[in-house]
Amino acid sequence: MKLPRLSAPVWLLFAMVGLSAILPLAHAADAASPAAFGFDPVRLQRLDTVIQDHVDRQQIAGAVMLIKRNGQDAYLKAFGQQDIENHRPMRTDAIFRIASMSKAVTTVAVLMLYEEGRFMLNDPVAKYIPEFKDAVVAVPPPAGSPPDVKFVTVPAKQPITIRQLLTHTSGLTYGDGLAVDLYKQANVYYWYFANHDEPIGAAIKRLAKLPLSAQPGESWQYGFSTDVLGYLVEVVSGQPLDRFMAERIFGPLKMPDTGFFLPPDKADRLAPVYGLEDGKLVLKETAATSDYVKGPRKCFSGGAGLLSTTGDYGRFLQMLLNAGELEGVRLLSPRTVGLMHANHTGDKYRRDTAGFGLGFWVNNEPGFYGELVGEGAYGWGSAYFPQYFVDPDAKLVGLLMTQLRPAGNLDLNQKFKVLVYQALTN
């Protein structure tokens, strides 16, 4: 496509609104020199080199990388192919399955209702979803039990609270544990709900009757907690989760390409899923085979069900960085956002960082993490390999989007964070 020659002021206007909106197929959107945002352009090139190297070695098909600083897009670039088989370059407005990056969005939805006085965070969830009353915990059978007895149950010492769901200390996993067979029988095993021909509430009610894997509040275990929160939003608001998010979050934040299932007219923008098998890149899922396009479209998973674009999710992260506000739209108060990235789990979470907030890790002890990520930063990732972080002190957002599952031992999503920080000059 041949572009007309434009005057400098017009090009400046294009830069201000973002070239990705004007040229979605472009591989780079240089809104301004990275140096204007405190990046050393030469050192930032290391990030390009590493991502492109993964494309060239066929470790990933393609990716979109976004860095925002001081409220503006400092760097936006697409790499490689969106669709290798059809020779389609990655585009900056490609749509991605974001899986567990949905959790931050559901957390915001819950906290919006919290700010309206609908509940307290330390309320028992059974107050709103009665099926969680009288929860039990699976424990190893006593000595001398028959060989076929895999576990026995004991009463939960305390009820599951909303805050424990927000911090993944509820005792819920994704079905793994001593009672794994019961989870599989109940069809609430594993995080994927897009193929369920039922509303999320039906699945959560079955889940509530199954034994927990740990006593509530005693350990950090990743699992269905945020899906329970998604159903809590439905119960408290009286709206399906997709409608609540569309009306209260995606619409106000101008996130037109974010939702649980994909309209047919956007299917060509859904990036296929590739996976690494024996070190080789293999096509795993296309729009033509995806439940997000062809499935029942009934089960709204607050824990792992959303689709989004780099631009849309970047706006959501900017809202968090702005302490709950974006372009005059306020979803949460600054104090509530501050509560989100406080460490709520003490020393129970010692994985990516030394603490976990409401919906994501928080890096309040950089010496524990031992990698180059800012103190006070927070973030999470996705089963499909994307990764994000938000750094309030540096006024920085980093987002890497791709579709890779399984990913083997690839660590590009972690190196992405380090390569962004090493390029900062202030």
**Are 93 and 71 found together in one domain?**
yes
Q: How confident is the model at residue 33 (pLDDT cuts 50, 70, 90)?
A: confident
Task: Compute the average pLDDT of residues 95-123.
Answer: 98
When the pLDDT of each residue in the chain is averaged and rounded to a whole number, the result is: 93
Domain residues for the domain of 123 are: 105-242
For residue 143, the model assigns a pLDDT of 94
Whether 22 has a pLDDT exceeding 90, the answer reads no
**Are 377 and 287 found together in one domain?**
yes
Q: How confident is the model at residue 32 (pLDDT cuts 50, 70, 90)?
A: low
Q: Which residues pair with 66 in a beta bridge?
A: 76, 399
**Are 289 and 348 found together in one domain?**
yes
DSSP 390: E
For residue 15, the model assigns a pLDDT of 38
Question: Which of 220, 242, 264 is where one domain is finished?
Answer: 242
What pLDDT, in 10s, does the model give residues 303-316? 999 999 999 999 99
Q: What is d(CA 107, CA 165) in angstroms, rounded to the nearest whole number?
A: 10
Report yes or no on 62 lying in a domain.
yes
For residue 219, the model assigns a pLDDT of 97
Report yes or no on 316 lying in a domain.
yes
What pLDDT, in 10s, does the model give residues 339-360? 999 999 999 999 889 999 999 9
Report yes or no on 249 lying in a domain.
no
**Are 305 and 322 found together in one domain?**
yes
Task: Compute the average pLDDT of residues 129-144.
Answer: 97
Nearest to 196 by CA among 101, 260, 126: 260
Q: What is d(CA 420, CA 379) in angstroms, rounded to the nearest whole number?
A: 14
What pLDDT, in 10s, does the model give residues 359-398? 999 999 999 989 999 999 999 999 999 999 999 999 999 9
CATH at residue 311: 3.40.710.10
Q: Which residues pair with 137 in a beta bridge?
A: 154, 212
Task: Compute the average pLDDT of residues 1-28.
Answer: 39
What does 207-235 look like in DSSP terms, one character per residue?
HHTSPBSS-TTSS---STHHHHHHHHHHH
**Are 344 and 378 found together in one domain?**
yes
Report in angstroms the alpha-carbon separations of 223 from 72, 115, 190, 217, 409. 34, 25, 8, 14, 22
Check if the beta carbon of residue 315 is closer than 8 Å to that of residue 254.
Answer: yes
**Peptide bond before residue 366 is cis, with ω within 30 degrees of 0:** no
Which tokens sit at 78?
Answer: 């697409």
Task: Compute the average pLDDT of residues 236-258.
Answer: 98
Nearest to 320 by CA among 254, 401, 259, 377: 377
Determine the length of the chain. Answer: 426
List, in sequence order, every beta strand (DSSP E) within 134-234.
136-139, 152-155
DSSP 252: T
**Are 262 and 147 found together in one domain?**
no
Q: What percent of the chain has pLDDT over 90?
A: 91
Greatest CA span in the chain, whole angstroms? 84
Number of independent structural domains in the chain: 2
The residues near 61 (Cβ < 8 Å, ≥ 6 apart) are 55, 80, 81, 82, 83, 84, 90, 271, 272, 274, 281, 402, 403, 404
Q: How confident is the model at residue 36 (pLDDT cuts 50, 70, 90)?
A: very high
Q: How many CB atoms lie within 10 A of CB 2?
A: 3
Q: What is d(CA 56, CA 392) in angstroms, rounded to the nearest whole number?
A: 34
For residue 3, the model assigns a pLDDT of 38
What pLDDT, in 10s, does the model give residues 407-423? 999 999 999 999 999 99
Report yes or no on 247 lying in a domain.
no
Report yes or no on 248 lying in a domain.
no
Determine the residue type at 399: L
For residue 311, the model assigns a pLDDT of 98
Determine the residue type at 350: R
**Are 179 and 204 found together in one domain?**
yes
At 12 the three-state DSSP class reads helix
Structure-token match 């033509």, residue found: 288
Whether 45 has a pLDDT exceeding 70, the answer reads yes
Whether 10 has a pLDDT exceeding 70, the answer reads no
Report yes or no on 168 lying in a domain.
yes
Structure-token match 């600054």, residue found: 334
Q: What is d(CA 147, CA 97) in angstroms, rounded to the nearest whole number?
A: 42
Report yes or no on 2 lying in a domain.
no
**Are 219 and 316 found together in one domain?**
no
Question: Which of 218, 242, 266 is where one domain is finished?
Answer: 242
**Are 149 and 227 found together in one domain?**
yes
For residue 80, the model assigns a pLDDT of 98
For residue 100, the model assigns a pLDDT of 98
Whether 26 has a pLDDT exceeding 80, the answer reads no
Report yes or no on 356 lying in a domain.
yes
**Are 53 and 160 found together in one domain?**
no
For residue 5, the model assigns a pLDDT of 39
**pTM (global) more than 0.85:** yes
Question: Which of 242, 262, 287 is where one domain is finished?
Answer: 242
**Are 302 and 227 found together in one domain?**
no
**Are 118 and 42 found together in one domain?**
no
For residue 20, the model assigns a pLDDT of 38
For residue 30, the model assigns a pLDDT of 45
